[in-house]
């Protein structure tokens, strides 16, 4: 085990993990991309004004505007849940509700934070593939003006979805047009927005700004950042007061330059596409490898960096002792395997070989 003091000469800390170990539970398991680490080092040293008045956060506005248009406003925050809660609060009055897929991260994986911290009522709709449609939205878009019902005033979609599927540009346009016609605003949870752009082969603005999305949560941590997401306001006339909501939601970083400079590294060039495209490609490689293994069923389209599969539960449990991953559905035995920017072809091949080996034992 390498002593980190040998690298820096200024710390007694030791590396406490084996860097050869790989997991497929989450793209959050990956480390920090070297170009992002280098950017953090560049921003270090000397003094910069705190709480977002630093030179890096100022420059970050230009970076986001190149991707999302001159009207875009970027507000760095700590994490994805914080980004979603801040963004949704900015869309809704106290009596407002947001329509989302039943499988949405804001409904399933944020510990009730939208309700507890944001006071936001979630109106959910079951979906076969994690995607809303205008028709599905209409299942909850009713009761306007009824004081006994939380008012459905926003729609939240996820791109790519929690089930690894993608909305096309046309599908998002249809949702936005429908929501706007009903007087609702639209939020995109984009924790893996870069993966969607890489898969669709279109600019980020093509399925956000250009189709009328009002606000989005832009993900960085799952795509090579140390920490940090951004709330990106695309419709400043409708989405206001983010800076106050960010503070009262405990998402205002004092040393914001270290969050902002990471996004600059990610978005100033093509790093966001390189990282996401590689993760997507590794998921496709994994799908191809396991489809040839008897007893393994890939149950959802692989359109980004996730593979969902069903295999015998006892096999999955043995595999979990060798590689970390999660059960997605305890009842059916469905599991989810996530690929990251640093997943290698050798990682995929070794994991697929382990799956084949354990299936052979079954």
Residue with tokens 């309700």: 115
302 pLDDT higher than 90: yes
277 pLDDT higher than 80: yes
Rounded to an integer, the average pLDDT of 93-109 is 97
Residue 88: what are its φ and ψ, rounded to 5°?
A: -70, -35
Rounded to an integer, the average pLDDT of 11-27 is 88
12 vs 243: which has the higher pLDDT = 243
Token representation of residue 99? 């329509």
pLDDT of residue 11: 62
pTM over 0.75: yes
The domains located in the chain, with CATH, are: 5-30+271-361 (3.90.1150.10), 34-267 (3.40.640.10)
Find how far residue 212's CA is from the centre of its chain: 20
pLDDT of residue 4: 43
Q: In 10 A of CB 187, how many CB atoms?
A: 28
Q: Is 126 left (phi over 0), alpha (psi -120 to 50) or beta?
A: beta
pLDDT per position as a tens digit, 196-232: 999 999 999 999 999 999 999 999 999 999 999 999 9
Q: What is the CA radius of gyration of the chain?
A: 21
Distance from C-alpha of 336 to C-alpha of 328, rounded to nearest angstrom: 6
7 pLDDT higher than 70: no
Least confident of 15-24, 29-38, 106-115, 158-167: 15-24
Rounded to an integer, the average pLDDT of 151-155 is 98
32 vs 6: which has the higher pLDDT = 32
5 pLDDT higher than 60: no
Rounded to an integer, the average pLDDT of 247-271 is 98
Share above pLDDT 70 across residues of the chain, in percent, rounded to a whole number: 97
Share above pLDDT 90 across residues of the chain, in percent, rounded to a whole number: 94
Residue 194: name the closest of 131, 253, 271, 254 by CA. 271
Distance from C-alpha of 266 to C-alpha of 275, rounded to nearest angstrom: 9
42 pLDDT higher than 80: yes
13 pLDDT higher than 90: no
Contact 262, 219 (CB under 8 A): no
Mean pLDDT of the chain: 95
138 pLDDT higher than 80: yes
Q: Residue by residue, what is the 3-state secondary structure of 14-39?
A: ECCCCCCCCCCCCHHHCCCCHHHHHH
2 pLDDT higher than 80: no
8 pLDDT higher than 60: no
Distance from C-alpha of 294 to C-alpha of 170, rounded to nearest angstrom: 37
Rounded to an integer, the average pLDDT of 326-354 is 97
Token representation of residue 20? 């050869």
Rounded to an integer, the average pLDDT of 165-184 is 98
25 pLDDT higher than 80: yes
pLDDT of residue 3: 47
pLDDT band at 127 (very low <50, low <70, confident <90, very high): very high
pLDDT of residue 362: 74
pLDDT of residue 9: 53
Rounded to an integer, the average pLDDT of 126-131 is 96
pLDDT of residue 252: 98
Q: Which long-range contacts (CB under 8 A, 24 or more apart) does 104-110 make?
A: 104/130, 104/156, 104/158, 104/162, 104/189, 105/80, 105/158, 105/162, 105/189, 105/191, 106/156, 106/189, 108/162, 109/162, 110/81, 110/84, 110/85
55 by DSSP, 3-state: which?
helix
Contact 223, 341 (CB under 8 A): yes
Which H/E stretch holds residue 68? helix 55-68
């Amino acid at each position: 085990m390498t002593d980190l003091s040998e690298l820096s000469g200024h710390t007694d800390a030791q590396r406490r993990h084996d860097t050869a170990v790989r997991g497929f539970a989450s793209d959050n398991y990956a480390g920090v991309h070297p170009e992002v680490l280098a950017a953090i080092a560049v921003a270090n040293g000397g003094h910069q004004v705190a709480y977002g008045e630093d030179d890096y956060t100022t420059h970050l506005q230009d970076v986001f505007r190149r991707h999302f248009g001159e009207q875009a406003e970027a507000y760095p925050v700590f994490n994805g849940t914080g980004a979603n809660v801040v963004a949704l609060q900015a869309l809704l009055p106290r009596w407002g509700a947001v329509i989302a897929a039943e499988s949405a991260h804001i409904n399933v994986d944020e510990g009730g934070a939208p309700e507890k911290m944001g006071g936001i009522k979630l109106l959910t709709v079951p979906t076969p593939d994690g995607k809303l449609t205008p028709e599905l939205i209409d299942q909850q878009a009713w009761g306007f003006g009824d004081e006994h019902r939380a008012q459905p005033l926003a729609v939240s979609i996820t791109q790519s979805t929690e089930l690894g599927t993608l909305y096309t540009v046309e599908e998002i346009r249809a949702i936005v047009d429908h929501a706007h016609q009903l007087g609702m605003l639209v939020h995109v949870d984009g924790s893996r927005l870069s993966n969607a752009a890489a898969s669709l082969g279109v600019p980020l603005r093509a399925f956000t700004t250009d189709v009328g999305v009002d606000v989005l949560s832009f993900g960085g941590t799952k795509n090579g950042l140390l920490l940090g997401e951004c709330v990106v306001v695309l419709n400043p006339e409708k989405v206001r007061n983010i800076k106050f909501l960010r503070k009262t939601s405990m998402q205002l970083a004092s040393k914001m330059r270290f969050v902002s400079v990471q996004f600059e590294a990610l978005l100033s060039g093509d790093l966001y596409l390189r990282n996401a495209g590689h993760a997507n490609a590794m998921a496709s490689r994994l799908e191809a490898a396991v489809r040839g293994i008897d007893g393994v069923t890939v149950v959802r389209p692989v359109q980004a960096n996730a593979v969902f599969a069903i295999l015998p539960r006892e096999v999955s449990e043995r595999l979990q002792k060798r590689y970390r991953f999660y059960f997605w559905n305890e009842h059916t035995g469905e599991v989810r395997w996530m690929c990251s920017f640093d997943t290698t072809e050798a990682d995929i091949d070794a994991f697929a070989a382990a799956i084949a080996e354990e299936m052979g034992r079954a």
